[in-house]
Amino acid sequence: MANSNPTPENTQKRRYRILILIEGLLLGLTVMGFVAVGYGRVGHWIIWPLTLVVIWHVVVIPICVMYLIGNPVVMSLSPLIPSAESTAFRMRLSERPAVGDAEFYGFFAESGIPGEIVARLRRCLLKLDPLIERATPDDNLCLLDDELDFACLLHLVEREFGIKFAEKTDYKTIDGTLGNLLRLTYSKIQDSVR
């Protein structure tokens, strides 16, 4: 039985196919319009609408070609409208129960990271979004908000813990997950103590 919930990839493919269908129809109507103008079948008033449609084609035909050759253009109205991926992630988080500090620390109990550090980082990140309390270590924080600048998030953590992340080394190790951020923060705290 087919999955009734469309994936973001299938939704994107469907939207591109609709765009290509509309573009094909408009292209055909545009050609017919210019032919009709050439034979004098319609008035010259149609030149202005045809000009607007030609501008549309100049923009949309390259987008359709890019999709057809396998390099689709990523289109988003973010931050006005969140991406489908961000919306789905936020919905999944909102359906989860809040994870307390003790329960969250269970993910890191064997790592040697003190529970105080774990709780303090989570409280710090709650300033960004209250859904953080529902996140697990594997959740990608970048999906909370399409406009989230991870450098700003790191700056917030730097101020909270009095540490400094190095752009050339530390930024390369960041994968966006909460667990990765916690481990990196703890390693920087240990470096500053030495």
Chain segment 128-146, per-residue pLDDT in tens: 889 999 998 999 888 888 7
User: Could you tell me which residue, 175 or 9, shows the higher pLDDT?
Assistant: 175
Question: What residues make up the domain containing 127?
Answer: 84-193
73 domain-assigned:
no
Assigned domain for 142 exists? yes
185 falls in which pLDDT band (50, 70, 90)?
Answer: very high
- The amino acid that residue 121 corresponds to is L
In this structure, the answer to whether residues 27 and 107 fall within a common structural domain is no
Whole-number pLDDT of residue 94: 92
pLDDT value at residue 1 = 44
In the chain, the number of structural domains is 2
101 lies in the same domain as 162: yes
93 with 167, same domain: the answer is yes
Residues 40 and 99 in one domain: no
Determine the Cα–Cα distance for residues 13 and 67; give it in Å rounded to an integer.
Answer: 9
pLDDT computed for residue 6 by the predictor: 61
Write phi, then psi, for 177 (nearest 5 degrees): -85, 155
- Residue 8 is predicted with a pLDDT of 63
Q: Are residues 128 and 179 in the same domain?
A: yes
Residues 91 and 151 in one domain: yes
pLDDT for res 176: 87
Mean predicted confidence (pLDDT) in 44-71: 90
